[in-house]
Amino acid sequence: MAKCQKCGKGPQFGNNRPWSKKATRRSWNVNIQKVTLMENGKPVSRRLCTACIKTAVKA
């Protein structure tokens, strides 16, 4: 799974816990989007999580 190129956030892993308490592995993936940003006056393509995209818009 992909990681955010700014903060390094990646997938997290844990267990599904149904009523029977039988543990099965699962993962929570990060919402990674491909965006084009301007860095030093040039367009640069990055794969960022949505939290980093929100902070990039505000800055």
Over residues 17-33, the pLDDT tens digits come to 999 999 999 999 999 99
- The answer to whether position 7 is within a domain reads no
Instruction: Tell me, yes or no, whether 5 lies in a domain.
Output: no
Task: Give the pLDDT confidence score for residue 18 in this predicted structure.
Answer: 97
DSSP output for 1-59: ----TTT----EEEEE--TT---EEEEE---EEEEEEEETTEEEEEEEEHHHHHHHHH-
Grade residue 57 by pLDDT with cuts at 50, 70 and 90: confident
Taking 90 as the threshold, does the pLDDT of residue 1 lie above it? no
Give the domain range for residue 48.
12-58
Answer yes or no: is 36 within a domain.
yes
- Look up the pTM and report it: 0.81
Domain assignment of residue 17, yes or no: yes
Q: Is residue 1 part of a domain?
A: no
In a domain, 31, yes or no: yes
